Structure 1
């Protein structure tokens, strides 16, 4: 990029409003007249307002003709000085959006062996060149692109361009910038260039997963591709890669299944994979020299090369990711893709900012980039072409990679209309597919009623939200590691625990809840973020023996799985995953982040118990009621002494009634059942099974410390 020296500045801030900034060092910041000059234009500007700032005088001027965006203009003053008219805040006006919204679905590269067409949306650019090379990057071709309607630039090259590298040189405000195609689907190492590929050679995803009837039928298992196989005893031969994670018959030295086979045996329905679109933080030429979760997005439509066996082969990452998804589908599991459309790694380096500066990101009232994400920039999803990009990208992954759901990172940064458009677009291809997100209320300059957060869940039907009320009520505050939740024996959370076990929809005296429907509540106590539950337990209760901590951990995890709503497990949670006390391991070494398969082998009894709880949920639809009114009709709490929770479910489909009793205390507790009957025991402090493993008669049951009891009749 070449810096341009200017004595004063002029910006187009609305379609007919020009702001001129004169520094005091330039004729004391004074000018009586300004003129707009361009091709066939030489007109005076009407000065509407003069504002004295700290270092400059700001003149707000009205143009009698609208400057054509993308064409060069000059602004002159009465001293004979001239400056180019730069694109200013007009980029963020609704009128700009309406003028340049492009509905076509052909942005990026359209390839055939005979020709390739490149299209780029860049309405503020004055010139664009396509940079193109195959093997000799020192001698690329430069081809001028042509502007057409709605600010779209295009060029067709009539020869076979398979495996050619390309980028765009974009001239805006007389400065040239080089950028990768935002719609690039294939990339060179570390995302330096886009690559033209033949889609027919990129293989196809096999064995699609059938969407579930209702979101509450899902059981989500969150995992990081690299973590699945990096442990020395994972049994995988291609550790840390797409293909390593796709290996199906891996085992530990003790002969216990690992990887996909193990996850299938647990009984979950979906694997949620941490971001695998191209991200910064791992050098693809030195994959194991660093580690990253993937929340540093750079290119949204290309898989990251750090998981590929050959990151220098543009096809490798594509075909190997598809093989992983196919392998997951063969296990009859769905794939949820973790997507990070709320920010980019570095705004200034992003193709979005280089190609259409100022458009794709939110700015505050002072014109500075907003930072609700905490990483320096917020994507302006409310703008028409940003919304279109997000929807286009989601549909690309859905159609090309056959993913079975999306998890939106920091969804509260995005707007309601965009998430509604995503839901509608996805339903047009694969109805009932899972869409979930983090609906935190973040400080971004978007009106509160437009944010896609928990407060606006009534406007977001069909989209699940991570339920922090559930998380903090059951395990204790995530942000106060010493706070203990209900499952850790804190009676203060008892009433909240009842509500969240009922799907957070409002039950009993509470007529309204956090959500309108249970399918909007993603229930969890642990994820990749923050401390694992085991580490929290070890830190906040260092003097308690492990046997007791394991009981608390088991109880909390079981409550996730038996609550109304969508249960979400962090990989390894079922065998007391630890990150050795590290609370934010996004770039910690592998030995902090990997799934420790030795630890898994040491805790087979707890895994067997959690498998039993999962099987009970899947076998009894009373634990996954899809409608809030049905929950209120079929779920009723028992009048038990604190700290006990008990409730009965009108079951149907095999059982007339199911009773759930929870004792979070360290003492035995005597609980009274609602009636005297012959009860079939499904869960006690030692066992959990979808089939009864013992029977009991009577009306009272002795609950062991820190335990769960489930019986049916």
Structure 2
């Protein structure tokens, strides 16, 4: 029986390989196969006519090549055939499609040989996504392929599929816009998709029988078949995902992929372990798999060929699928050098690609925190951002405790943590870090390193968190708090991220961990858009406000320290500050923002001059709804944005 403990092995002695030819590559005349398997004594290649069923019709052995690689060439046209590798390192391991499989049959059991040129939509060569001078211009909308369109009332034909994102003119019975039309109407710049690469726990042959977010990776270079109209022909999922990308790009919306390199669903049985046992994972002192992911294993990003694999994979998604960035799940498990090398490698392709991730792990790692991409090391990862969970919890309360409260739910003494988010987690001399429970000091070097958010796929939706922490609140009261949260996220410095449906008070019925809950819990209920249309229109106008005014999206920490001033006298439950719009290149010379988290109104003195009110609890009008001077009254659980009246 195989020993799955590896404390007797020094993996640094394994030879590295720098070539770009690992995997399976088709041409009409021949197909080449090459894998890195330095411990192998024999590698068998099997060919099949079917991706799921039947016996292999051809077997051959790969030849040993340089630096731990094995390869062979089959002459002739093998397009449409399926393949597996089987490694013998003293005993036979399981049959797998290999770690570089880019096209697979149903459930990823076998790789598929294909002509990539046949997977490109019309005019694909001209496809490209939006690019900005600074990532602070981005407004990201996080969604799940299946959630986005699966509801009966989505009006979308290809429900739960990649192609659901390509349909225009879709409507629910209430007549509001859904799908891609909704995204355009809202005004977001990027869609962040939960994992679209091949994952384990949804049976692609029976996709509606089970649900999962997809954080259980199997193949990192191949797409998930349950999102395709045909899971058996691996080419279909490639074609259809490219159509998704092209449709979003055609409407000025970028595509960011959620990538889960920190762990695999299987440990011993994983594709990695069936090719090079133990190498791709970190181990404890006793040689067993360590578990910083909380999922039974953690990927050893610091090892040479693991780092190469991650970088090769990301480069492939950019070059083949034209994606615009990546979000790294549990980024705090990865080593800093790998994240830095990822940035360098992707910059050679396109400096406009946006990278960000979760700056934490789920459990202990054998790698010291000082060497990992945790939040407090963000400043060492230039042009890579971390999620600002400090701001998230300050806004609504602890993410895991349904009864806890934050600034928008009426909890006082969270003002410094709110200021921390407003200043994009960069150092600001007017933020008193000693009064923030979750941090000791700033952790971002520049504002484009901070992702500000109040909710995401994890934990309770914002609406559900507010309902549970404020059980006696009325529907109208909860709407006000959602609007206040949206205003804080979308006017703060840094990069805002919105959980899909937060703009119309999305609910999951109080489910705080819906990763495998049914569609009835996870689906976006588009009828709520009509029911909470005032909230949607408020978010829509906030996004347009942010786009129109660079004062809300300064591009440097120095500018934030210089041109953002907490200019008003402190009041409990109130955060207020001034922006020097002129210095930021804004058409508004002076902007004064007040956020009142109290249950009662507050009156504040205004900076010298006359001001027009451009935003309050229910309306946003850049022309101004009225002019005030000397003092301003801010209603409970609401905001005021005022602009110096010299602006017109």
| TM-score, reference length from structure 1 | 0.86
Deviations 1:590-639 (A, max 9, x none): 11111110011111111111111111111111111111111010001121
**Matched residue, 1:403:** 323
Q: 1:294: Cα distance to partner?
A: 0.5
- Relative to 1, partners in 2 of residues 1:373 and 1:176: Cα closer, same or farther, differing over 3 Å? closer
1:25-55 CA-to-partner distances (Å, cap 9, x unmatched) read: xxxxxxxxxxxxxxxxxxxxxxxxxxxxxxx
Name the CA distance, whole Å, in 1 between partners of 2:550 and 2:395.
Answer: 23
| 1:91 positional shift | 4.5
Q: TM-score, normalised by structure 2?
A: 0.94
For the pair 1:226 / 2:157, whether they are aligned, the reply is no
Q: State the SS of the aligned residue for 1:560.
A: helix
Which residue pairs with 1:193 in the alignment?
110
Q: 1:172 aligns with which of 64, 89, 102?
A: 89
8 A Cα contact 1:91 1:358, kept in partner: no
Matching residue of 1:525: 454
Aligned to 2:528: 599
1:189 and 1:601 map into 2 onto residues whose CA distance is 38
Q: Which runs of 5 or more structure 1 residues have no equivalent in the other structure?
A: 10-85
Q: Residue 617 of structure 1 corresponds to which residue in structure 2?
A: 546
User: Which of 568, 572, 581 is the equivalent residue of 1:651?
Assistant: 581
Three-state SS of the structure 2 residue aligned to 1:557 is helix
- The structure 1 segments of at least 4 consecutive aligned residues displaced by more than 3 Å after TM superposition are 86-93, 509-512
* Partner of residue 181, structure 1: 98
Encode CA deviations 1:263-283: one digit per residue, 9 max, x unaligned: 111111100001000001111
CA distance in 2, matches of 1:405, 1:416: 18
Which of 560, 568, 583 is the matching residue for 2:497? 568
Is 1:672 the counterpart of 2:602? The answer is no
Rounded Cα–Cα distance in structure 1 between residues aligned with 2:5 and 2:639: 64
Question: What are the superposed Cα offsets for residues 323-363 of structure 1, whole Å, 9 maximum, x if unpaired?
Answer: 11111111110000010111001111211001100100000
Q: 2 CA distance for matches of 1:697 and 1:526?
A: 34
After superposition, the C-alpha distances for 1:489-543 in whole angstroms (9 at most, x for unaligned) are: 1112112212221112122344851221111110011000000111111111111
Shift in alpha-carbon separation, 1:692–1:92, aligned structure 2, 3 A:
farther
65, 68, 82: which one aligns with 1:148: 65
**Structure with the larger RCO, 1 or 2 (CA within 8 Å, 6+ apart):** 2
- How far apart, in 1, do the equivalents of 2:400 and 2:532 lie? 28
Confirm or deny that 1:103 pairs with 2:18: yes
Which has the greater radius of gyration? 1
Q: Of the candidates 613, 628, 638, which is equivalent to residue 681 of structure 1? A: 613
Determine the C-alpha separation between the residues in 2 that align with 1:421 and 1:217: 25
Residue 88 of structure 1: how far off its partner (Å): 5.3
Give how far 1:173 is off.
2.3
Q: Does 1:134 align with 2:49?
A: yes
1: distance between equivalents of 2:317 and 2:10?
28
Question: Which whole-Å CA distance do the structure 2 matches of 1:380 and 1:171 have between them?
Answer: 23
1:239 and 2:159 equivalent? Answer: yes
1:698 and 2:629 equivalent?
A: yes
The alignment partner of 2:219 has SS state of strand
Cα separation, partners in 2 of 1:87 and 1:595, compared to 1, 3 Å: closer
Label 1:445 to 1:228 Cα distance change in 2 as closer, same or farther (>3 A).
Answer: same
What is the CA distance between 1:458 and its match in structure 2?
Answer: 2.0
**Are the counterparts in 2 of residues 202 and 319 from structure 1 also a CA contact under 8 Å?**
yes
Partner Cα distance (2:431, 2:477) in 1? 33
SS at match of 1:238: coil
Task: Name the SS for the 2:43 alignment partner.
Answer: strand
CA deviations on 1:542-584 (whole Å, 9 max, x unpaired) are 1121211211121012101111111000000011110001001
- What CA RMSD, in Å, does the superposition of the two structures yield over aligned residues? 1.6
Post-superposition CA distance 1:674-712 (Å, at most 9, x none) = 1131x23220111013x2232313121111111111011
Q: 1:634 aligns to what?
A: 563
3-state SS of paired residue (2:163): helix
Equivalent position to 2:188, from 261, 268, 273: 268
Answer yes or no: is the 8 Å Cα contact 2:6–2:283 preserved in 1. Answer: no
Matched, 1:710 2:641: yes
Distance in 1, Cα, partners of 2:425 & 2:120 = 43
Distance 2:253 2:470 in 1: 37
Q: Count residues with an aligned counterpart.
A: 626
In the alignment, the residues of structure 2 paired with residue 92 and residue 616 of structure 1 have an alpha-carbon distance, to the nearest angstrom, of 56
Contact 2:130 2:249 in 1 (8 A): no
Offset of 1:87 from its aligned partner?
Answer: 10
1:119 to 34, 44, 64: 34
Whole-Å Cα distance in 1 between the matches of residues 532 and 316 of structure 2?
40
Contact 1:660–1:709, Cα closer than 8 Å, also in 2: yes
The whole-number CA distance in structure 1 between the counterparts of 2:55 and 2:565 is 73
Distance 1:341-1:87 versus aligned 2 partners, 3 A rule? closer
CA distance in 2, matches of 1:576, 1:495: 27
- Give the conservation status (yes or no) of the 8 Å contact 2:189–2:253: yes
* Aligned equivalents of 2:565, 2:411: Cα separation in 1: 22
Is 1:502 aligned to 2:423, yes or no?
yes
Residue 345 of structure 2 corresponds to: 425
